[in-house]
Chain A
Amino acid sequence: MTVLSGKDLPRDGEMLQGVALHARLEATWRREPGFWGWLTTVDHKDVARRYIVTALIFLALGGVLALAMRLQLAKPENALMGPDRYNQIFTMHGTTMMFLFAVPVMEAMSVFLVPLMIGTRAISFPRLNAFSYWVYLSGGLLLWVAFVLNVGPDVGWFAYPPLAGPEYGTGKRADVWAQMVTFTEVAALCISVEIVATILKQRAPGMTLARMPVFVWVSLVVSLMVIFSMPAVTLASGFLLSDRLVGTHFFNPFEHGDALLWQHLFWFFGHPEVYIIFLPGAGFVSEIVATFSRRPVFAYPAVVLAVVAIGLLAFGLWVHHMFATGLPRLGYSFFTAASMAVAIPSGIQIFCWIATMWSGRPRFEVPMLWVVGFIVTFVLGGITGVMLASVPLDLQLHDTYFVVAHFHYVLIGGAVFPLLGAFAYWFPKFTGRMMGDGLGRLSFWITFVGFHLTFAPMHWTGVMGMPRRVYTYPVGMGWDQLNLLSTAGAFVLATGVLLFLVNAAVSIARGRVSGPNPWDAAGLEWATSSPPPPYNFAHIPVVSSASPLWDNRHHLPVMTGLRVDDRELLLTTVMEAKPDLREPSPEPTIWPLVAAAATGGTFVASIFTPWAVVIGAVPVAAALTFWFWPKVAPTPEPVAE
């Protein structure tokens, strides 16, 4: 074997550019053809699109459940469904929306956008990325197949023991829930690790931390939050499973297990979870506002610091979900203060976005409509949030429809509205086509009106004493009209979301072809074609400002020298993003899918017997062995002189 010198290897550069370069890169980075290629792909864009489509399907399913609940609650003493069915449905709604829609879709957006925004050819750990999708899909299937088979969890998305424990959580319903959590946590943790590594080590040269787009900052903060919060719920659901399956006593009060331990662990995850869902929304809004106001976002450092502050504060609030549990009263005040303090960074962000519009020249395209809808709704949700942070008020309002109204204002207003805006905004990047404008505006207004029609009345029903999670309510409590209004609103809301999806479907087929940068935006993701090629960028861009495409309108500087015959990435330094190393990126492979199937089988079987963990370890180990098997005779690579 002859050792090749570095000069002999094909690299991009003056010798190799244009069509020839594209052809070489295409050959190196494309996925394998056909169904096999579909199964084995490790392209972050393929995986992210898959994630997004799957999450949207779960959104639709969760939405259908919501409509079913609203139908049941449309009138008092309604006999549409019994308590057993209703309890499964509201549990499935919450679980689906939180675990199968909101978190995955936000992470999928990061998986798609972050490598493009920071100018790299692939996400780090692309096989892990593929693995995470298959695991997520297995978790979602487990939950929904179980639901169809009448084994849907009926213990609430929070699954408080002892109700979810072995004695009162009859059958396997709670096990399905707990194991589904394990699936989605594994998937989310995988992605978070990838995102953090990608952001810290793969930014385009010159993209210092201070020049990162706000959305990349958000992705970094959110991923770190996932890494720190999700283990708590994984631990908790593991405890619950072992309580249920092998008779441990973590939550058995009789043997000094503690039902409140669950609540602490769960909300230590559960509260950050809310910000994990909301913060990407803030990231979307920052990008959209800047683009359509024709100026960089106002007070970028303040916005970034606000994001980081929310990420930190999120871990100090969990007890405000537990004010009624009888913990020492004085300690509550700390959590009240911490909960209220979140309003400060949120307020900073709101101010900065409006200030960006104020000092820019806002163009109210469809994504901007969603942003304005977001600001209005989110501020209202924030108001009720501040109220709920107060112990005396929370003790009255906790677990009433007031809280239902609050968190739908925050989650739909604060996360789904920006997400839909983001879909409209990046739709050309996903598909290469523009999303229809007229239908887009119509769907926004219907969704917006439907949303408030649904959830605004719930403030009253809550204040008038209607508790959450009831499958029916008696006549004569004064809740009837308000509930009917909410039900009507829910259908308007659903119509709006449906219109959005129809618009998307139509636009994929027949939308206007967009070109690389239809909005004339500043971020690197707009520097490549729409949709981007498998290798993202022919040459790695070089960045010298926070708005590269605006500051270098005519010629974006690039660097060259990456190999084109092998998947090669440029690694840069963590702080300054100076070129550091060249690193190979893995090839497509089937093993993530096999490993995910083995892991999934193990998880599912361990609902029934603890031995599944022992037996299942064999196929999992085998799949991982093949996955990590070193390539035969790695292409020789001389050390740079």
Chain B
Amino acid sequence: MRHALVIRSKVALLAFLLLACPGSQAVGQGNGARAPAAASPPDDGQWTMAAKDYASTRFSALGEINRANVSRLKLAFSFDTQNRRGHEAAPLVVGSMMYIITPYPNHVWALDLARGGRLVWVFRPRPKPASQGVACCDVVNRGGTYSNGNIYFATLDGDVFAIRASNGHQVWRTSVADINKGETVTMAPLVAEGKVLVGNSGGEFGVRGWLTALDAASGKLAWRAYSTGPDADVLIGPQFKPFYAMDRGKDLGVKSWPPEAWKTGGGTTWGWISYDPATRTLFQGTGNAGPWNPHQRPGDNKWTSGVFARDIATGQARWFYQSSPHDHFDHDDINESILLDMPVGGRMRQVLVRPGRNGYMYVIDRGTGQVLSADPYGFINSAKGVDLKTGRLIPVEEKVPQEGRVTRNICPAAPGAKDWNPSAFSPRTGLLYVPHLNLCMDMGVIEANYIAGTPYLGAEVKMYAGPGGHRGVLTAWDPVRRKAAWEIREDLPLWSGALATAGDLVFYGTMDGRFKAVDGRTGKLLWQEQLESGIIGQPITYRGPDGRQYVAILSGVGGWAGAIVSGQLDPGDPTSALGFVNAMRDLPGKTKAGGRLYVFALPQ
């Protein structure tokens, strides 16, 4: 399928060239898919939230850098973050300022873009050092968000900060998580309708997952929705109209668990939230059920490993869909939801497109939670498919992890076909650019012991490359035709986000430190630059104070995949970093720890 761009006729190509106009919000020609306007306003050249917009497109309408000239891209400036852990964050650009949030200790650096990236101020929140001990997968932070003059971000130990974007002064600070229970916060908050939405991490520690809305102005708690437990805690009320029968019933967050198990059941919200202003609905994925050992939690384990639609004002759930009931493989469902309006079965539907961890590309009706399609976008042998009548994943019995006996060749592995690192959608090509993984694993489970603040796993995992021997893939997925347009195979797992631009370019980075730009239509590699350390961050692009287009990326290997480098782990133990190290034994030879912002532009 590689380079197999589908262009049906010369006419279509001609029509496309006429309409494609750099800098404007072009409507996709390829397949009719587009982000809803309300959630994806016209581009202002800034980058104020990690996902670019509420629709989570990570698409920039800037087209100055395009397929023709990208090969001339040169470093504009760089900045040392003075941190050597995994840099997963997206820089923010507001006006002429850039803000970078580092991994623990979560410093916020404000750089003046007008003066070549000179440091203006730094904010040091001083999180509790002990929080490092309860961060499952390196002490990462996935970024902040800008709204109404403030930068909102959360520290690893679970404090949400609002600081003045102009001078870095703290506006408010609210503690939302308790590290003594194993809770941390690594996600980039989302601010919408005057609410700061933030969820906890710690699915590996037997925490009880939640999503919290704070008042953006005061930091006061607006509501908190748990992912397990009684309906009152989950904010399930009369508005709740799940599409599938399996999600209907009272207190399923209790009844689908063994007694008490929901209290340590996971379902954390540590990934991406999308928001549809038109319906005032937020879409929130929930993480894996805890512990990993599924035999300790018979039942469907509501409401873990699924996606909630909630009313942003009250947090009340509207619908829920569970992609991995009774999750077997640590398949969180916290991956990004891209809001699209696109033709499905002959008529336009308002949908979420979700590249799921279990390897299926879900297309879900935004209004009802109905799964319209679920197609494998990576290699899957642990499930036979998704039954669209019941909404249930159809597991493969022989791949269910056994107690005391390793199950071999489970694909995808625990990080899924795709982990947190977000995709980008270009309306110009109609394609979704999914940076993902091709990993399989051996997994066996054992009885996990619950001790608050310590890991609650009960699994022995060893990962390795999936079929083909490559560990990462960038797939250009056509959500309308429900198949891949092309894909690029990468040796190392892809742990960085993707960025699509109106120059029909897709930017992403690899864990050995290559920052790449490829042709959005064919996948052809057009430009790459070797950076100091491996890339697991999220590339952004913006219009600088000088009016030119810049592309920025944080380099600094780490995260779950890169912990072998950032944590100097022992490759001799296959279970290091929950089994990821086994797949990454060669990484220390390919990159080293680092932490630096790189900003590229065309030469003047």
Interface residues of A (CB under 8 A from B): 253-256
Contacts and interface: CB of A to CB of B under 8 A. Distances in A.
Interface of A is mostly: helix
B444 interface: yes
Which one of A253, A254, A256 has the greatest number of beta carbons of chain B within 10 Å? A254
Contacts of A256: 405-406, 408
A254 B404 CA distance: 5
Nearest to B444: A254
Interface in B435-484: 444, 460
Contacts of B460: 254
Given A253-B404, A254-B460, 6 more contacts: A253-B405, A254-B406, A254-B444, A256-B405, A256-B406, A256-B408
Contacts of A253: 404-405
A406 B408 CA distance: 44
A110 B404 CA distance: 48
Contacts of B444: 254
A255 B405 CA distance: 6
Contacts of A254: 404-406, 444, 460
Interface of B: 404-406, 408, 444, 460
Interface of B is mostly: strand
A148 to B, nearest CB: 37
A161 B436 CA distance: 42
Which one of B405, B444, B460 has the greatest number of beta carbons of chain A within 10 Å? B405
Contacts of B406: 254-256
Contacts of B408: 256
Contacts of A255: 406
A255 B408 CA distance: 9
A254 B462 CA distance: 12
A253 B403 CA distance: 10
A253 B446 CA distance: 12
11 contacts: A253-B404, A253-B405, A254-B404, A254-B405, A254-B406, A254-B444, A254-B460, A255-B406, A256-B405, A256-B406, A256-B408
B399 to A, nearest CB: 15
Nearest to A162: B404
Which 9 residue pairs spanning A and B have beta carbons closest together?
A254-B444, A254-B406, A253-B405, A253-B404, A255-B406, A254-B405, A254-B404, A256-B406, A256-B405
B443 to A, nearest CB: 11
A254 B574 CA distance: 14
Contacts of B405: 253-254, 256
Nearest to A257: B405
A473 B79 CA distance: 74
B383 to A, nearest CB: 23
B579 to A, nearest CB: 14
A468 B50 CA distance: 67
Contacts of B404: 253-254
B78 to A, nearest CB: 47
A255 B444 CA distance: 9
A531 B406 CA distance: 64
A255 B443 CA distance: 10
B155 to A, nearest CB: 39
A535 to B, nearest CB: 62
Nearest to A255: B406
Nearest to B442: A255
A256 B460 CA distance: 14
A260 to B, nearest CB: 13
Nearest to A258: B405
A254 B405 CA distance: 4
Nearest to B408: A256
A255 B406 CA distance: 6
B320 to A, nearest CB: 36
A256 B404 CA distance: 10
Nearest to B407: A256
A478 B444 CA distance: 44
A253 B408 CA distance: 13
A249 to B, nearest CB: 10
B410 to A, nearest CB: 14
A256 B406 CA distance: 7
A254 B408 CA distance: 11
A291 to B, nearest CB: 59
B572 to A, nearest CB: 12
A66 to B, nearest CB: 36
A256 B405 CA distance: 7
B11 to A, nearest CB: 59
A493 B460 CA distance: 54
Nearest to B460: A254
A323 B444 CA distance: 28
A188 B349 CA distance: 81
A253 B460 CA distance: 13
B41 to A, nearest CB: 54
A394 B120 CA distance: 83
B405 to A, nearest CB: 6
A167 to B, nearest CB: 12
A555 to B, nearest CB: 74
A255 B407 CA distance: 9
B447 to A, nearest CB: 13
A8 to B, nearest CB: 74
A230 to B, nearest CB: 31
A288 B404 CA distance: 56
A254 B407 CA distance: 9
A253 B444 CA distance: 10
B446 to A, nearest CB: 8
A256 B408 CA distance: 10
A253 B404 CA distance: 7
A452 to B, nearest CB: 45
A289 B460 CA distance: 64
A96 B533 CA distance: 64
A255 B460 CA distance: 11
A598 to B, nearest CB: 35
Nearest to B446: A254
A530 B406 CA distance: 65
A307 to B, nearest CB: 44
A550 to B, nearest CB: 65
A517 to B, nearest CB: 65
B373 to A, nearest CB: 37
A166 to B, nearest CB: 15
A615 B408 CA distance: 38
A253 B407 CA distance: 11
A202 to B, nearest CB: 54
A256 B442 CA distance: 11
B380 to A, nearest CB: 23
A258 to B, nearest CB: 10
A254 B444 CA distance: 7
A294 to B, nearest CB: 65
Nearest to B405: A253
A253 B406 CA distance: 8
B150 to A, nearest CB: 51
A254 B461 CA distance: 11
B407 to A, nearest CB: 10
